[in-house]
Amino acid sequence: MRIRRHLFFYNTVSVLVALVAMLAVNGAATHAIGRFYQRQAEEMVRELPPDRRPGEGALWVERSEGELELVGTVPQHRPEFFGRPRPQMEAMMISLLLSGGTAIVVILLLNTLFTRYQVKKLLQPVDALARAAGRVEAGDFTQSVGYQGRDEFSAVCAAFNRMQEHLLAEKEKNAAYERARTDLVAGISHDLRTPLTSVKGYIKGLRDGVAQTPERQRQYLDIAYRKACDMDVLLQRLFYFSRLEAGNLPLFFQPADLGEFVSRFAAEAGPEMEQAGGEIRLNVSPGPHPVSADAEQMYRVLSNLKDNALRYAGTGALVISLAVEDRDGWVCIRFADNGRGVSEKALPHLFEQFWREDPARSAKNGEGTGLGLYIVRRVVEAHGGTVRVENNGGLVFTILLPHLTDPDISTQGEHQKISDSEVSL
């Protein structure tokens, strides 16, 4: 309402001032013209010969060129009469004022109607934006502004609509994130309950004397220890995820040869693969493959990819193929398995947090939390690299890290040792 009042007020005042100024100029011009003709008549009287001059007080007017006609006399006590407007001039001034005032009233009425229409058209997008803002405040992001004009406000309304779409996408994303977080808590609770129940059962068996022989007692203790380690893995994964999301996970970059690093990983992961009935095949191209990397975090990347293959490959004899090569300024790690892969619809979601292709949890899938591949992507991107996945006779991950141009680092990674704590995730 304030904008409307301002528009009406300033528009009306500007028109009124312009009209009053025009009326004043016209009045001044008319008065000046009258005075000019009066002075001309006086000059013509004074230029007449003395015998033709009228007596004092005579009033002459010019009827034709050079001819004057006596129309009356001026009282002797009113010599200032020649300085006053004539009756015709007075009538003309009054007529001008009346017609000017009428014109001002008519013009102001027309201006009011035009201004009202102009304000309505001008504030139409503003009103639409105000209604849309009210809907957004109420939590409704589905209705657009609905303004179809082609003026400057159309860009503002289009930007508002894009903002609504972005807010709606974020709202849906946050809702999905909260659902996934709830599922994660429920899944972690389930995964923790299972080994915890086993640990309690085996400890109770030892306490009650169920395992009477030393071999049986050692077996119970080994199983309880493994179950406790499983719970520790889940807790460490959650702790790592929380630090990753909070930005409190430091990275310590050091020059290293990626080919040698992957070779060490394959040597350490080989026995675990053999116990699971699978194997790791390694192919490192000749020459150094220098990168700047955090050894602990990159080991976590390869370990998460290995665990993902063990859980979800869905094949009896799992074969993991690891290859390292240089590609146009990048060092490439190709991690492939011979499993069943995933559906093409699921491929774009593999690196999303808490996402699992099959939400149903089972003992076969173990402690899958939907965080492993998300951590892979975050760590690789923190190294300035990229990771992508595709189906090609199984699931194939391609990791690209920037090639480090330093000829003296090819052997700097030889003495790095990966501790047991690095294998925990």
Beta-bridge partner residues of 284: 324
Q: 279: which 2 tokens? A: 């194997």
Contact 202, 187 (CB under 8 A): no
C-alpha distances in Å from residue 81, one per residue of 59, 74, 76, 85, 129:
10, 7, 10, 8, 69
Low pLDDT (below 70) residues in the chain: 1-8, 10, 25-27, 29-30, 33-34, 37, 41, 44-93, 95-97, 99-100, 151, 180, 183-184, 187, 244-248, 354, 356-370, 406-425
152-246 CATH fold: Helix Hairpins (1.10.287)
Write the single-letter amino acid at 105.
Answer: V
Three-state DSSP state, 376? helix
Which pLDDT value is given to residue 45?
Answer: 64
Contact 292, 254 (CB under 8 A): yes
Contact 45, 60 (CB under 8 A): yes
Q: Say which residues have a Cβ less than 8 Å from residue 191's Cβ, sequence separation at least 6.
A: 230, 234, 361, 366, 367, 369
pLDDT digits (tens, 9 = 90+) for 338-368: 988 888 888 888 888 767 666 544 434 444 5
Which pLDDT value is given to residue 64?
Answer: 52
pLDDT digits (tens, 9 = 90+) for 174-209: 887 777 677 667 767 777 777 888 888 888 888 888
Helices and strands in the chain, H and E counts: 7, 9
DSSP of 182-222, one letter per residue?
HHHHHHHHHHHHHHHHHHHHHHHHHHTTS--SHHHHHHHHH
CATH 3.30.565.10 fits 254-424, yes or no: yes
Provide the sign of the torsion angle of the four alpha carbons 85, 88, 92, 95, taken in this order: positive
The strand order across the sheet containing 386-391 reads: 279-284, 319-327, 330-337, 395-402, 386-391
Query: Whose CA is closest to 261, among 308, 297, 312, 309?
Result: 297
Q: pTM for this one? A: 0.51
Domain boundaries along the sequence of the chain: 2-137, 152-246, 254-424
